[in-house]
Structure 1
């Protein structure tokens, strides 16, 4: 509510400027019936309106407002009308020009205001010692307001540069994340392409075998056709995933077998050899899973262990648990390292890659520091459709 009110006021500069000018107007009211100014009450009201009225548009037309106030004050001085409280509007106009425009404009406004100080000192004679004091005080006020305006202009420029830099860094970070996600999608597409190519190769080999054995061995032919059917279903499922993933490059290289669940033991041993204490447990009976799902499981465990090596700290231990059920597979990797206290360089995109991989299969990933310390990654991947297909 407060923010909305502030934004509403920022869009209505004349209203805000009128509020800032109102104390000066109130201070001028008690002097309406004074006779020390050498003018009538009507002339006093007209002069006060000419000095304070333009302040309503102080930030809308700063230079024009300052010029009008300066001219009104100059005419007042030439006519011999004594200074009035509304003459303080000259200082308000000077501040606005110095704070909102270049150094040259601020200096020009200061010269005009100082000229008015000289004219006032000359036009309104006082005692011999008082004239020098009056000139000194008026000059100090002009210089002080001018310096304050310069300071505010510098501060606003600094804040503007900081905001611009923050926006630029935010755009760069967003672009970096998008590039990392695009690269991850390209890698996923290439790996899925390898899996589908492998399945199609199996289908071709089995079809050739069935064509050779169809006249001599009906049992082997029937077995080959069943293999073709199950492999084709898996290939079609992988192709459906592939349709949603954009491939950035055609440089797929030579097809190579991708790691799966069976290679997790080797991965754990490799991590142990680097000095990280790892425990690996499996709950439940592993169901039949396509090569694409197995690759996703392998990559999630690999990325979680890599994060522990990078950010866990010394003497950290980590547990890896795979829990199989009839509907899904849960992957839980938890360490007792630094957790939320771990330094973040802002360049890691492993978690984004995990989510991209799991989303392909309709799963979910949760990753974050644990309440008692450490870091945990929990991923769930549905497997029912493949179990039913098998």
Structure 2
């Protein structure tokens, strides 16, 4: 029993050592296989980089060269002249296949037919598949179908002559599959090229549209700045002219009032310069004035009314509802509408005229009413040559409003509009 147990233990140890050796051998083989795969991948990548740098003509010359070398090294001396001539006729036209695919295919097909007539089998027959691929990749559907039919007819003739007895179907199906694969591959390449060309055209069109949108945005910005400059300059110059006239009239009778008017003129000029710097500050990256002086809004209408009173136009302001929720651009529009309307009243009405400004604010709309009590002739801004009333209409239309400006039934002049604050009613300026 003891000897039998010892023998059994020895046999188990031997089997265990054999299993360990086999496992280590498998691990080494796996490691070697991984290293070989990595080397092959590096070689493929290097070949791909080298191939991408070679011109297409080099690739087109490579196949005829290889086929000629194969014929010259495998054919018997008595068969060599005919084989070399036929191989040259089959493979050499492929050099020009990118320039004239249909012509090259015709030459290769004719050479293949001559080869069939003289009953010589050559590896250069693969040139016919390359020519078919080129036709499918560069011609339309009709040319591809005609070329594929010609190749298939050649396949049938070749299998009828050179297939061994009783083995016609296998080579015929195999070569037919190769023909279909060459044609399908060429069609896929042509489709991919067309798709990429369409993408490039679309990208170019989108870039052109973006440039057009940028030009339109620049034009709109110029129009906006021009409108702002018109409102600022017209209003402040009108106020300064009125104050200057008042100062000249009062300089002898009431020097204190003349001094006050002159101070008002100075303040109005400084305000005009500030407004101009603020409006033009968007054109300069180093202009901090727009941050120091925010855009005027409904809160600044009281100062505007006081300025008009100092210029000789008594103005009463009424603001109904809160305006803190109204966007800054909408408040600027309200301010410019009121400013333009009061400026027109100051310029075109006689002394003693009174003006009234009424602003009604709600969650969705802002209603602006500016009326005065003075008779006046038609406003120059109402004609097609001015910018006053048309500019006001543009500002109002930007928020979906329709400006109404004209004489009132009881006398005087009125301006009315309603601005819509909802996104559907806003049109970007």
Q: Please, what TM-score do these two structures have when normalized by structure 1?
A: 0.54
Q: Is the 8 A contact 1:177 1:349 kept in 2?
A: no
| Counterpart selection for 1:208 from 237, 245, 251 | 245
1: distance between equivalents of 2:204 and 2:77? 55
2:152 is aligned to 114
2: distance between equivalents of 1:38 and 1:241? 96
Larger Rg computed on CA atoms: 2
Structure 1 residues without counterparts, runs of 5 or longer: 1-5, 247-256, 272-290, 293-347, 354-390
Q: Is the 8 A contact 1:214 1:221 kept in 2?
A: yes
How far off its partner does 1:224 sit? 2.9
Structure-to-structure mapping, 1:28-47, within 5 angstroms? 28-35=68-75, 39-40=79-80, 42-47=81-86
Q: Is the 8 A contact 2:136 2:143 kept in 1?
A: yes
2:192 is aligned to 155
The verdict on how the C-alpha distance between 1:85 and 1:136 changes in structure 2, with shifts beyond 3 A counting, is same
The verdict on how the C-alpha distance between 1:349 and 1:18 changes in structure 2, with shifts beyond 3 A counting, is farther
Q: Is the 8 A contact 1:15 1:56 kept in 2?
A: no
* C-alpha RMSD over aligned residues: 4.2
The verdict on how the C-alpha distance between 1:126 and 1:92 changes in structure 2, with shifts beyond 3 A counting, is closer
Report the secondary structure of 1:138's partner residue.
Answer: helix
1: distance between equivalents of 2:274 and 2:77? 94
The verdict on how the C-alpha distance between 1:114 and 1:37 changes in structure 2, with shifts beyond 3 A counting, is farther
How far off its partner does 1:118 sit? 2.5
Larger mean Cα displacement after TM superposition, 149-158 or 57-66: 149-158
2: distance between equivalents of 1:24 and 1:78? 22
1:72 is aligned to 111
Report the secondary structure of 1:60's partner residue.
Answer: coil
Aligned residues: 255
Q: Does 1:145 align with 2:182?
A: yes
Q: Is the 8 A contact 2:87 2:124 kept in 1?
A: yes
2: distance between equivalents of 1:235 and 1:194? 10
**1:106-135 alpha-carbon deviations (Å, 9 max, x no partner):** 11111221222223234x344222233333
1:319 is aligned to none
**1:188-238 alpha-carbon deviations (Å, 9 max, x no partner):** 332332122221121111111012113223343344345435534654676
Report the secondary structure of 1:127's partner residue.
Answer: coil
Q: Does 1:63 align with 2:102?
A: yes
Q: Please, what TM-score do these two structures have when normalized by structure 2?
A: 0.49
| Counterpart selection for 1:259 from 297, 311, 316 | 297
Report the secondary structure of 2:73's partner residue.
Answer: coil
Structure 2 residues without counterparts, runs of 5 or longer: 1-47, 284-294, 302-321, 328-334, 337-425
2:164 is aligned to 127
2: distance between equivalents of 1:83 and 1:169? 55
How far off its partner does 1:65 sit? 1.7
**Which one scores higher on RCO, CA 8 angstroms, separation ≥ 6?**
1
Q: Is the 8 A contact 1:210 1:224 kept in 2?
A: yes
